[in-house]
Every structure is written in C-alpha cells, then in structure tokens.
Homo-oligomer: A and B are copies of this chain.
Amino acid sequence: MRRFLDLADFERDEISALLELARRLEKCPEPHALAGKILGLLFFNPSLRTLASMQAGMARLGGTSFVITPGQGTWQLETKLGAIMNGAAAEHVREGIPVLASYCDALGIRAFADGKDLAYDLAETNFNAMAELVDKPLINLESAANHPCQALADWKTMDDLQVPRGGRFVLSWAYHPRPLPLAVPSAAVHMAAMRGMEVIVARPEGFALPPMIMDKARKAAARSGGSVRETADLTDALQGADIIYAKEWGSTAHYGDVAGDARLRAELQSWCVRNDWFAKAASECRLMHCLPVRRNTAIADEVLDSPRSIVQREAYNRLVVQTAVLYQMLKGV
C-alpha cells in the first residue's frame, strides 16, 4: 500500500483484509516489524487522538516518529501556488513537504478545510497539491473532506460490536458553537454505505451534505447492497436506528459565510443528543462520535456516560487500525 487517503480507493475485500490484519496485530503484536522505520507527521491543525495514536502505532511496531507543527516550533508554511511570500509564512509546502518526505519512510498529513469555498474544499485542492509533492507512502490524517483513519476505526468498532452489516446507520447533525468541516460526516456516510448499511443523514435545513458527498456514498451503497438518504425529520430518522452517529458541521447553504451560518445555528441548540433520542431506536442502539466532542452542547452527559456510548472504543480502534495501515505500508518495504 503506497497511499491511504480515502476508503473509496479500496475494494471491500481489501478493507476486510486490513481489518483482519488489525485484529491479528492486536492479538499478536509484532514489536520489531518496523524497526528502523520512520514516520513523519505533519499537523497543520490540532490533534489529540491522531497525534498520540500514530506515534503509539509506530512504537508498537518498533518504529519511530517525528512531529512537525507549522507555527509551533516550525515556520508557518505557505500552501498557495505562485504566492509572493512577503507575509507570515517563511516557507512554501513545495519545499517543506518534499524535504520532510526525504527524512522518513512514510508521511502523514493533517490539513483541515479552508472553509471558504465549498468546491475548493470538496476537490481537496489543498491536500492534493501537497500529496503530489510526496514520493513516499502517504497517510491522510484528515483533509478537507475525508478522514479515512477515522472511517476505518468506525468500521472496525461496528464489527467488534456485531452491529449488523445491513443495520440502520443514522448520521445526525449535532450543535456546535461554530461551523466545523465536512471531513468526518463525509467519511462516515461513505464508510457506512460501503459497509452495506441503510444510511440516513438527519440534518436541519441549510445543512444538507453536498451532492458530491452523497453521490459518492450512494455509489458505494450500490455496490454493497446498502442505501443512502437524507432528511430534516430527525424523529423519523431515529426510528429503528442501530447506530446514531452524531457529528457537528457547518451550513452548506452558507459555506464560508460565518454570519449566515450563525443565523441558522442560533436556533438549533436542541440538536444536542439526549437519552430521548433513543426512545424509538433499536434496543441495542449505540452512540458514535469521532471526538473531540463538546459535552452538553453536541451530546449530553447522560448519553456519553451511558453504556450506549462507544466513543472510547472508536478512539481506541484508531490505534488498532492505523497499526495495520502502517504495517501494510512499511513492512518489507
């Protein structure tokens, strides 16, 4: 495996094999598998799980990592082509990224959406421009519209708990004080569709997922026997849910327009997941969230502290599945 950028780049069989490898390495660790290998980690945005679990994953396999955080101990990096660099950024990614790639055996990059132009972000303009500069194995640690490590961990989490392949997966919008990127909702609907689930996206008016994201998920559903639909009727969506996957994101009707987004958002504080959301769900219905989550804003304490919540297992599975990705990418290379 040279690149782990999007679950859509893989066949279902390949994902199954990767999850099988993850389970094997979890049971039978191989502490010397990546001895002498180096993973470079480039974070343009904050991180807790990714930062810790990527380092831990390399260490579990006997490898090493280094972390670069532009603006914190490192120069700010310019990403725009043709820029006349007389501002804050001291270095361009066209230099910085190939240099970092030359110091390691694989590189991981996190670069969130700009949040100004929807088409620009959906096209992964920024991430792709950087990816083109990397001649080593590359991992997407969350880009404008994707988060394959999270999606893979979520898939394994549902497998672990025997959530039915054809079960009902409700991705519900949740309240947050500010607009957040589309990376996780986009990755989650595609992953659930690819897993063969009945996917329902429940979100207020003005927060519909872009057609490009929905179409990609529908294409995956068509191959797996799943389905994908969208609704503003939360009550209806939650009926019979096997999974409620809560996620905050910005208004797509007002993308890049903070004031327009805020006007809609102000009325939506009731989209905080509470126990009563599970009233008509399947009895075993679980709560998923990629974390970080704002308690009592996006999800109430009563839900996060209940046995329905499997957010800890999702986070732990980040380590487990990434270990498999690193192994497959770097072992024997």
Contacts and interface: CB of A to CB of B under 8 A. Distances in A.
Interface of A: 29, 31, 35-36, 38, 40, 43, 46-49, 51-53, 55-56, 59-60, 62, 64, 66-69, 72-75, 78, 82-86, 89-92, 94-96, 98-100, 102-104, 177, 291-297, 301, 304-305, 311-312, 315-316, 319
Given A99-B312, A296-B84, A52 B40 contact: yes
B56 A295 contact: no
Contact of A297 (B31, B84, B301): B84
Contacts of A67: 73
Contacts of A47: 73-74
- Which residue of A60, A89, A95, A304 has the most chain B CB atoms within 10 A of its CB atom? A95
B29 A36 contact: yes
Given A38-B60, A103-B316, 17 more contacts: A31-B35, A31-B36, A36-B60, A46-B74, A48-B74, A49-B99, A52-B100, A55-B64, A72-B72, A72-B73, A82-B296, A85-B294, A85-B295, A86-B297, A96-B292, A99-B291, A99-B312
Contact of A102 (B59, B92, B295, B315): B315
B297 A95 contact: no
B95 A311 contact: yes
Nearest to A291: B95
Contacts of A293: 91-92, 95
A315 B94 CA distance: 13
Contacts of A74: 46-48, 51
Contacts of A38: 56, 59-60
Contacts of A91: 48, 291-294
When all copies of this chain in the complex are counted, the total is 3
A149 to B, nearest CB: 13
A86 B48 contact: no
Given A52-B40, A296-B83, A73 B99 contact: no
A76 to B, nearest CB: 9
Contacts of A83: 295-296
B72 A51 contact: no
A52 B31 contact: no
B297 A52 contact: no
A79 B203 CA distance: 30
Nearest to A50: B74
21 contacts: A38-B56, A38-B60, A46-B73, A46-B74, A47-B73, A52-B66, A52-B68, A59-B64, A72-B73, A83-B296, A85-B296, A86-B297, A91-B293, A92-B295, A95-B291, A95-B304, A95-B312, A96-B292, A99-B312, A102-B315, A103-B319
B95 A292 contact: yes
A56 B103 contact: yes
A90 B292 contact: yes
A38 B64 CA distance: 12
A49 B311 CA distance: 34
A297 B85 CA distance: 6
A69 B73 contact: yes
A307 to B, nearest CB: 15
- Which residue of A52, A78, A100 has the most chain B CB atoms within 10 A of its CB atom? A52
